[in-house]
Structure 1
Amino acid sequence: MLRQGGVDPMGPRASLRTAVVWEVLRDALERRSKAADQDVLDVLDTGGGTGNFAVPVARLGHRVTVVDPSPDALFALERRAAEAGVTDRVRGVQGDTHGLLDVVEPAGHDMVLCHGVLEYVDDPAEALRNVAGALRPAGALSLLAAGRGGAVLARALAGHFAEAQHALGDAGGRWGEGDPLPRRFTTEELTRLVAGADLRTVSVHGVRVFADLVPGALVDTEPGALEALLRLELAAAEEPGFHSVATQLHVLAERG
């Protein structure tokens, strides 16, 4: 069960979007550290950009390598790591999942983060196999991807009913030509991709079930609303019935 506190230190507003993933990730890192009997783990963050997760993970004392195709993102990562005082534990490498094992050590990482990547790559199955290839035998994968049902619900609540229906029937979960995401996933699709990479799904959580639907003015002005919504997000994340309407889906997987 997810803990009701101690979420990502990047700030209360940001925690609404990251709390569920951060809680699962932190617990997985703690378990891996105990199992390996070592305080410092080697973590790989594919598509980690400016370090939204890499820097907090480094703050826990772990070594983090961020692979991202954008030089600008890696420059921002370096600046953020310096501001957080973790420059010695964060390394940026330019690259992508297609050539991942050419720029990082195969089977050299205790955990790999693959957040917001599968939506954009040409071949999600190949990308996930490469990501899995970077894991040590007892390593774990943190996989985060856009949920199809969440997009359908969001378009419908915004009054764009034709777009909602289009997303419902589209193979990639896209709502139209103006959709910025190339594809979205269902829980079944993600867990099937995980199995195809020879990994075992440990847990699935819905992310941003309510956060993207609640008016920002309500959260900002109603006393205690932000904290209450955060607790609701953490509680709903573990309920399978809400996975189909989550904006994002998080899968924790392991080797073996």
Structure 2
Amino acid sequence: MYPTRPRSALRTAVVWEVVRAALEKRAGELGQPVLDIVDTGGGTGNFAVPVARLGHRVTVVDPSPDALFALERRAAEAGVTELVRAVQGDTQTLPELVEPGSVDAVLCHGVLEVVDDPAESLGSLVATLRGGGVVSLLAANRNGAVLARALAGHFNEARAVLEAAEGRWGTGDPMPRRFTGEELALLAAAAGLRVESVHGVRVFADLVPGVLVDTEPGAMEALLKLEQAAAEQPAFHAVATQLHLLATLA
């Protein structure tokens, strides 16, 4: 089961399948069915609630009280209130909120783009892991943004994304930072992680006209299958909107 509605599944299905399989594998390695998981920036529980429905304990750390309120309501509706803990905070306050070496997996989705220091933030997350713990890292892809701006006819902005240190097209760019696959891999290595797999996320979903997906019979299902098939192919990583790294703590 995907964690979102069918239309939104185009954006989350690839990551969900990787995360679900990784948690299942980790639980098997430890010989225990219930894992302790931290979801930083988890907001309203798009991943936390489905993970809790698998039977795992999830602590969601997010700076927004409104998002955490929505998370608690969503967890209650799903019947997993006892497995979901909502904590207001961020990666800077994480050491005060989660005991070091106490969790089996960390979800870090859409966080490194907005923090002041990605390396420091990732280091704080990794510090919460037990040995062999899993990290699911999802971040905006610089090269995918180059393609998107160019296809929209904004050629100067496309070049700016390509050349700017933080992968932005200008002061009006709402994304504070983007990464290449190499940059994410280096961040992971510096934090003591071993990258297990890399997937391209939203390779086609953001390029295909929404009206086509919504009105053409079978188009959404076919596009979803195409996304899943292309996600593992390195040739498509460069054009994906996001990159997903699954890594483990040595």
TM-score, structure 2 normalization: 0.98
Alignment: residue pair count: 250
User: Residue 162 of structure 1 corresponds to which residue in structure 2?
Assistant: 156
Structure 1 position 14 matched with structure 2 position 8 = yes
Residue of structure 2 equivalent to 1:107: 101
Instruction: Determine whether 1:57 maps to 2:51.
Output: yes
Who is 1:33 aligned against? Answer: 27
Structure 2 distance, partners of 1:155, 1:247, is 11
Deviation at 1:65, TM superposition (A): 0.3
The aligned amino acid for 1:190 is L
| Runs of 4+ more than 3 Å apart | none
| Counterpart position of 2:194 | 200
Specify the alignment match of 2:62 in structure 1.
68
Q: Which residue of 2 is the match for residue 126 of structure 1? A: 120
Q: Distance in 1 between matches of 2:92 and 2:229?
A: 36
CA contact (8 A) 2:142 2:167 kept: yes
Indicate the residue corresponding to 2:242 in structure 1: 248
Quickly say closer, same or farther: Cα 1:48–1:243, change in 2 above 3 A.
same
Are 2:139 and 1:145 equivalent residues in the alignment? yes
Aligned residue in 2 for 1:47: 41
Indicate which of 207, 210, 217 corresponds to 1:223.
217
Indicate the SS of the match to 1:49: coil
Listed one character per residue, the Cα deviations across residues 133-164 of structure 1 (whole Å, up to 9, x for unaligned) are 01111210000000001111111111111111
What code does the residue aligned with 1:18 have? Answer: T
Name stretches of at least 5 consecutive residues in structure 2 with no aligned partner: none
Distance in 2, Cα, partners of 1:10 & 1:242: 24
DSSP-derived class of the 1:92 partner: strand
| Partners of 1:183 and 1:236 in 2: CA distance | 25
Q: Which residue identity is paired with 1:128?
A: L
1:88 to 82, 86, 98: 82
Contact preservation (8 Å) 2:3, 2:12: no
Between the aligned partners of 2:149 and 2:16, the Cα distance in structure 1 is 27
Q: Does 1:181 align with 2:175?
A: yes
How far has the Cα of 1:101 moved from its partner? 1.2
SS at match of 1:212: coil
Q: Where in structure 1 are there 5+ consecutive unaligned residues? A: 1-6
1:9 Cα offset (Å): 4.0
Distance 1:116 1:102 in 2: 22
What is the percentage of aligned positions where both structures have the same residue?
Answer: 72
Indicate how the Cα distance of structure 1 residues 9 and 114 shifts in structure 2: closer, same or farther if over 3 A, else same.
Answer: closer
- Aligned match of 1:4: none
Q: TM-score, normalised by structure 1?
A: 0.96
Tell me how large the CA RMSD over aligned residues is. 0.8
1:43-68 Cα offsets, whole Å, 9 max, x none, are 10011111000000001111000001
